[in-house]
Amino acid sequence: MAKIAKLDDIVSLCKRRGFIFQSSEIYGGLASCYDYGPLGVELKNNVKKAWWKSVVQMRDDVVGLDCSILMHPLVWKASGHADKFADLIAECKKCNTRTRIDHLKEKLVPSAVEGDAEQAEQHTEHVSIDTAQAKLHDLSNKICPNCGMVGQFTEPMPFKLMFETQMGANIDDSMTMYLRPETAQGIFANFRNVLDTTRVKIPFGIAQIGKSFRNEVTTKAFIFRTREFEQAELEFFCKPGTDEEWYEHWKQQRFDWYIKLAHYAKACVDVEYSFPFGSGDWQELEGIANRTDFDLRQHQRGIRTLNKWFENDRDLSRIQLADEAKDYQAGPLSYFDDVQKHRYIPYVIEPSAGIDRSALAFLVDAYDEEEVRGETRNLLRFSAALAPIKVAVFPLVKREGMPEVAINIYNDLKKYFNCFYDEKGAVGRRYRRQDEAGTPYCVTVDGQTLQDNTVTVRERDSMEQIRISTGQLRNHFREKLDI
Ligand code: GAP
């Protein structure tokens, strides 16, 4: 049974072995932004590859897309983000910590239900930027999560979640733009383009992986919630009335994906994962939503708002979204079913995963410690698809021609798998370093290799060693790694 990792174990291993570093560390660090080091970038790329393979490559009904991060500001008016994408926060007067008010816990009274705040966390309520509304919240019985003070908060204030930037070199005519808070809107904005240029027919999906940005009030738990993160989103368009069926389909598909990649899946339900922090530990890993026809309808309104955009000096705050056309079902983002001769706005099922959050879940899942001959062995039991390095190649010693043979093997295998060559230090220590990096196989060239062309192949989890002839290595790993 694998050891349940503590978050500190993961953070320290990630830093020690070059998976993840704090951003701008040499300047004292930038809160809630992280950089992926040499092993981390391989892990993250593998998570993305596995997602893409399962959601796009292996399916005949999904196509891919890669949209720009900056989009026309009206996109965010139509999507609702410009008006609603703000949280209410309050500042503790004693310790000056700012907390989202839906994260504040009540001082315990007999009727108070534990875990309310965690629940609120999972179903984030984004409220309208309306200060009057903010005043309606009673914080007199709420506890500061940092210092424990009760009821000593400032008035709740809205906190903008979208990052703003300017487009245009001249301050006078520059335009406020937003870094996208979700990748999904790029997909909706390209729905027509994809329909017109491919042979897709409903039901079909459009998938995208890319960076999103949210000026989160509280960031937490390492890479679990950060201000810059990567999402892997699928918008699956279907006929209204079939949406429940597709919702169930995608829930199962996505659940199976996590289970397949996580060896232990210590806990993974709908799709939550038991992370080693927080009171209840259960945290959202991926949201699967039935977005109905909301987004496409909103963008049809957005398109109708374009003239107001120019009339109002391209100032989003002065613009009201145009009313929906009476014949919206036949609008520019509608779909024509040429069998039933019927036009409609499709419904959308959206499995939306976080790449960084998934990487954290896979790290937690893979982490293990065990006693081996009186020493602690730290290891990451990654599945082969996720392991940053698939095969490490060593000469037993740095003489007698062993390095030359090992380098030849390494040069051959690296054409097919991500490999690593190491000749420094005792071989036992080299094995341990690879265990900690999650490398499933190590190949060692020894004295016998020079006699009979066989090497030892050591398997990470069992530490078992077998002898294989060098000519069979490539096929052996192809089969074992299944990639
Ligand atoms: N398009 C729908 C959407 O964006 P969401 O529940 O806000 O829905 C989907 O986000 C997923 O993106 C989450 O389940 C999580 O994995 C990831 N995610 C969201 N905010 C994040 C953040 N601040 N840091 C890391 N991952 C985040």
215 lines ligand 1 (CB under 6 A): no
Q: Greater confidence, 382 or 273?
A: 382
Is the C-alpha dihedral spanning 238, 244, 249, 252 positive or negative? positive
Say yes or no to pLDDT of 394 above 60: yes
Peptide bond into 203 cis (omega under 30): yes
* 231 pocket-lining for ligand 1 (C-beta < 6 Å): yes
Model confidence at 105, pLDDT cuts 50, 70, 90, reads confident
Ligand 1 centre and the CA of 336: distance in Å?
32
pLDDT higher than 70, residue 302: yes
Q: What predicted TM-score, i.e. pTM, was given to this entire model?
A: 0.88
Q: Does 353 sit in the ligand 1 pocket, CB within 6 Å? A: yes
Beta carbons of 243 and 290 less than 8 angstroms apart:
yes
Distance of CA 26 to the CA centre of its chain: 26
Whole-angstrom Cα Rg for the chain: 26
Contact (Cβ atoms closer than 8 angstroms) between residue 81 and residue 136: no
Q: Which pLDDT does position 120 carry in this prediction?
A: 36
Q: Which is the closest atom of ligand 1 to the Cα of 231?
A: 12
Q: What is the pLDDT of residues 229-249, one digit of tens each?
A: 999 999 999 999 999 999 999
* 127 C-beta neighbours (distance < 10 Å), count: 18
Average pLDDT over residues 305-333: 92
Q: What's the pLDDT tens digit per position in 353-377?
A: 999 999 999 999 999 999 999 999 9
Secondary structure (DSSP) of 67-98: --SB--HHHHHHHSHHHH-EEEEEEBTTT--E
Look at residue 58 in the predicted model and tell me its pLDDT.
97
Ligand 1 centroid–CA 217 distance in Å is 14
Query: What's the whole-number mean pLDDT along residues 141-148?
Result: 88
- How large is the average pLDDT for residues 268-295? 74
Instruction: State which ligand 1 atom lies nearest to the alpha carbon of 184.
Output: 1
* Confidence at residue 109, expressed as pLDDT on a 0 to 100 scale: 54
From 182, 352, 360, the mutation candidate for ligand 1 (largest count of ligand atoms within 8 A of CB) is 352
As a whole number, mean pLDDT of residues 127-147 equals 69
3-state secondary structure of 342: strand
Residue 128 in this model has a pLDDT that exceeds 50: no
- Ligand 1 centroid–CA 123 distance in Å is 11
Q: What pLDDT sits at residue 277?
A: 66
* Of 72-81, 309-318, 411-420, minimum mean pLDDT range: 309-318
208 Cβ closer than 6 Å to some ligand 1 atom: no
Residue 220 has pLDDT above 80, yes or no: no
Between 14-28, 133-147, 183-197, 199-213, the lowest mean confidence (pLDDT) is in 133-147
Residue 434 host element (H or E)? helix 427-437
Residues 6+ away with beta carbon under 8 Å from 419: 389, 390, 391, 392, 393, 410, 413
Give the residues across from 175 on adjacent strands: 167
Q: Which atom of ligand 1 is nearest to the CA of 287?
A: 14
- Return the closest-CA partner of residue 47 out of 284, 333, 386: 386
For residue 182 and ligand 1, the question of a CB distance below 6 A is answered with yes
Which spans in 128-267 are helix H?
131-134, 184-189, 191-197, 243-261
Closest among 302, 353, 311, 324 to 82, alpha carbons compared? 302
The residue-averaged pLDDT of 281-293 equals 86
Residue 114 pLDDT exceeds 60: no
Ligand 1: atom nearest CA of 226 is: 24
Do 6 and 28 meet the contact criterion of CB atoms below 8 Å apart? no
Return mean pLDDT, the chain: 89
Q: Does position 265 have pLDDT exceeding 70, yes or no?
A: no
